[in-house]
Amino acid sequence: MRVQRRHVLAATVAVLAAAGVAVGTGFGFADTAPARQSVCSGSVTFSAEGGAPAATSDRFPVGTRLRVTNLDNNRVATVTVTGPSGSCVLLNSAAMELVREPGKNVIRRNVVERLDGGAAQPVDPGMVRPGAASPGAPGPAPRSACSGAITFFEEAAGPAATSGQFPVGTRLRVTNLDNNRATTVTVTGPSGSCVLLNTAAMDQIREPGKNLVRRNVVEVLR
């Protein structure tokens, strides 16, 4: 009789343990819960554009719906791509306000999910960015290693950049075609943009009051 009771008790403990693992996994407590896949790599930043929450992208066509999650505070923004940029995803001001922590302009730990299930479009490093040449200007348009607008992140350092396309140590020359001002920078780390300038580099080329350089050429210096 005692032997049978021990077998029954052991079986009961095993069943309860298995149930606990199943419940823990369902509520996200288990260490084996699968991590979500992100369709973009690197940090997420924003432009100064107004309007309802939206984003621009160099990977996804206009109309694509994306969900951006800040893993540091679990806040989420669901946005629609409205145009091209130099980033995998570049939020506008309203979208960034939905997800960022106070005083921070970069979301380093993030997950970007495509809600319509499509795949990202590959970026051609040698493509000519539409609108790179001045209207009516003769000759071929300048070739740019990146497409879309260029923005920046706040960093108290000398002119530099981060990139999702070029390795650390790459030297780039970025020219603002609206004022012909240029900056030469070295890539110091990864980001979610083809090229994301820091404050000092942006100040060298931007026009007063503008946080985006829409007409630009990015050249890789050998």
Instruction: Note the pTM of the prediction, 2 decimals.
Output: 0.50
- What is the band of 7 on the pLDDT scale with cuts at 50, 70, 90? low
Residue type, 121: Q
The CA distance from 110 to 89, in Å, is 11
If you write DSSP's letter for every residue of 97-151 in order, what string do you get?
Answer: HHHPPTT---B-SEEEEETT--PPPPP-TTPPPTT-SPTT--SPPPP-SS-S-B-
Whether 145 maps to a domain, the answer reads no
pLDDT, residue 94, reads: 92
Is 92 a member of any domain? yes
Domain match, 166 and 106 both: no
Distance CA 12, CA 114 (A): 44
Both tokens of residue 77?
Answer: 């923004």
3 in any annotated domain = no
Q: How many domains does the chain have?
A: 2
Residue 13 lies in a domain: no
Structure letter (DSSP) for residue 48: -
Q: Are residues 49 and 110 in the same domain?
A: yes
Taking alpha carbons only, the member of 122, 110, 184 closest to residue 147 is 122
pLDDT in tens, 72-124: 999 999 999 988 877 889 899 899 999 999 888 889 899 999 998 765 555 44
Domain-located, residue 89: yes
Range of the domain at 90: 45-114
For 22-69, what is each residue's pLDDT tens digit? Answer: 444 334 443 444 457 899 988 898 877 888 999 988 889 999 999 999
CATH number at residue 182: 2.40.40.10
Domain assignment of residue 120, yes or no: no
Q: Would you tell me how many other CB atoms lie within 10 Å of the CB of residue 146?
A: 28
Q: Quick one: average pLDDT of 6-33?
A: 46
From 57, 87, 114, the end of a domain falls on: 114
Amino acid present at 81:
V
Average pLDDT over residues 126-142: 41
The reply to whether 206 falls in a domain is yes
**76 inside domain:** yes
Bridge partners of 107, per DSSP, are: 44
